């Protein structure tokens, strides 16, 4: 909130929510397929699941995919690539 | 009925293959930061981008003729996803998509070849050979490979088969107490618009099956698990009304096609 004298007052509206972008390369077909199946089971952004942050090993119990589109490319054996965005939901 | 053609190699596509699975979610964000979501499953669709290079004149002619028959985006055709397993419920042999004799006893939750417990034990206590099979709405004259992981308590054999119309092929593979992958690749001489693939369980035989897979290509690739949706898309369309071909020499043509399916 900004006052007439130019100063402002701030407060935290939400608890910070995390977001992960996971780039996956050199996947085999089964791995790509498993990720696609997971995307479809989640129905894109609709579903929720728990996610373990790969850098801290902290479990976030309420997360969703941040995308309604799953794109993958197979350019050879063991050469699948895709990207997933995972967002933490506010409880 | 129109079917997206296979190349002379028996494959539907060349690398690279790009696939997109799209869902639609309606999201209403509340003032406190929470979200109310609605899944709109009926809006879901798949899209593929297939790049073809070094096609022979015959292969390119087939593709061009097929595109002309489809009249670009206008007419629907059946597309067999080259990245997927054509079977539905590949690990749930009790689902209605599988046709199993009622005399077969199916036990689920058996240790599988991937370290889980998703295999199925099948017992045939009758006096006759019985089958478990699944039919797909794919052209019978295509090249297919049916594969499945098999295991038995003692050394034995298992018979795989493909059947379309009056044409059929089969093969016998040895089994042991360790998991092994049996496969049957064949191209049948038929004009039928469906294909059935399955396993014959001999009289008195008990066998474990895991990872049934049917692919529109001559040989098996990595196993892919499926649920209610398999790789047969009977209402696919081209995503463009333009078909562009580049020919650099005799029997050296290339093109890119986009396909969508709901």
pLDDT (tens digit per residue) in B18-71: 999 999 999 998 888 889 999 998 999 999 999 999 999 999 999 999 999 999
pLDDT (0 to 100) of residue B148: 98
pLDDT (0 to 100) of residue B41: 87
Query: pLDDT at residue A14 above 70?
Result: no
- CB nearest to A90's CB, from B18, B33, B38: B33
Rg (CA), chain A: 18
pLDDT (0 to 100) of residue B55: 97
pTM of the full structure: 0.91
pLDDT (tens digit per residue) in B224-239: 999 999 999 999 999 9
CATH 2.60.120.260 fits B98-227, yes or no: yes
Q: Which residues of A touch B (CB under 8 A)?
A: 13-14, 17, 28-30, 32-34, 36-37, 39-41, 43-46, 64, 68-76, 79, 89-91
pLDDT (0 to 100) of residue A13: 66
Please state the domain extents for chain A.
19-88
Residue at token pair 């949706």 = B229
User: Per-residue pLDDT averaged across A7-26, rounded?
Assistant: 87
The interface predicted TM-score of the complex, written ipTM, equals 0.84
Mean pLDDT of all residues belonging to chain A: 92
- CB nearest to A69's CB, from B15, B22, B223: B22
Residues 6 or more apart whose Cβ sits within 8 Å of residue A73: A80, A81, A82, B16, B17, B18, B19
CB contact under 8 A, A89 and B34: yes
Say how far apart CA B140 and CA B195 lie, in whole Å: 5
Query: pLDDT at residue A15 above 90?
Result: no
pLDDT (0 to 100) of residue B208: 97
pLDDT (tens digit per residue) in A27-80: 999 999 999 999 999 999 999 999 999 999 999 999 999 999 999 999 998 899
Pair of tokens at residue B139? 């052209």
Give the residues of chain B that fall short of pLDDT 70: none
Say how far apart CA B189 and CA B157 lie, in whole Å: 27
pLDDT (0 to 100) of residue A91: 81
CB contact under 8 A, A40 and B39: no
Cα nearest neighbour of B24 on chain A: A68
Q: How many CB atoms lie within 10 A of CB B61?
A: 12
CB contact under 8 A, B19 and A71: yes
Residues 6 or more apart whose Cβ sits within 8 Å of residue B98: B89, B92, B132, B133, B134
CB contact under 8 A, B24 and A32: no
pLDDT (0 to 100) of residue A6: 87
Mean pLDDT of all residues belonging to chain B: 95
Report yes or no: B230 and B195 within 8 Å, Cβ to Cβ.
Answer: no
Say how far apart CA B244 and CA B257 lie, in whole Å: 9
Evaluate the omega torsion of the peptide bond into residue B16 and state whether it is cis, within 30 degrees of 0. yes
**Cβ contacts of B39 on chain A, cutoff 8 Å:** 43-44, 46
Residue at token pair 């902290």 = A58
End-to-end CA distance of chain B: 17
**Cβ contacts of B20 on chain A, cutoff 8 Å:** 69-72
Mutation for testing the A interface, residue in B21, B89, B210, B225 having most A CBs under 10 Å = B21
Please state the domain extents for chain B.
17-82+233-261, 98-227
pLDDT (0 to 100) of residue B113: 93
């Amino acid at each position: 909130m900004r006052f007439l004298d130019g100063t402002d007052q701030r407060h935290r509206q939400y608890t910070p929510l995390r977001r992960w972008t996971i780039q996956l390369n050199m996947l085999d077909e089964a791995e790509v397929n498993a990720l696609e199946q997971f995307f479809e089971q989640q129905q894109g952004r609709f579903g929720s699941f728990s996610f373990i942050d790969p850098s801290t090993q902290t479990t976030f119990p309420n997360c969703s995919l941040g995308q309604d589109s799953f794109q993958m490319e197979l350019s050879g054996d063991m050469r699948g690539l895709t990207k997933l965005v995972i967002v933490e939901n506010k409880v | 009925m129109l079917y997206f053609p296979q190349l002379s190699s028996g494959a539907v596509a060349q690398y690279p293959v790009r696939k997109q699975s799209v869902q639609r979610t309606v999201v209403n964000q509340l003032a406190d930061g929470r979200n109310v979501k609605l899944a709109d499953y009926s809006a879901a669709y798949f899209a593929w981008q297939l790049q073809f290079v070094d096609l022979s004149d015959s292969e390119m002619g087939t593709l061009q003729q097929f595109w002309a028959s489809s009249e670009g985006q206008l007419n629907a055709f059946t597309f067999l996803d080259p990245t997927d397993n054509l079977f539905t419920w590949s690990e749930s042999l009790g689902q209605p998509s599988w046709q199993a004799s009622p005399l077969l006893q199916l036990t689920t939750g058996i240790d599988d070849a991937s370290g889980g417990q998703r295999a199925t034990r099948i017992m045939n206590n009758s006096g006759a050979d019985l089958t478990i099979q699944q039919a797909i709405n794919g052209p019978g004259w295509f090249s297919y490979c049916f594969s499945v992981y098999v295991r038995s308590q003692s050394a034995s054999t298992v018979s795989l088969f493909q059947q379309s119309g009056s044409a059929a092929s089969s093969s016998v593979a040895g089994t042991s107490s360790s998991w092994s992958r049996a496969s049957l690749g064949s191209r049948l001489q038929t004009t039928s618009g469906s294909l059935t693939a399955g396993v014959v369980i001999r009289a008195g035989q008990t066998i474990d099956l895991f990872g049934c897979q049917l692919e529109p290509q001559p040989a098996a690739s990595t196993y892919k698990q499926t649920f209610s949706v398999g790789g047969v898309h009977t209402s696919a369309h081209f995503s463009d009304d333009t078909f562009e071909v580049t020919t650099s020499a005799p029997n050296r043509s290339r093109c890119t096609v986009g396909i969508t399916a709901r």
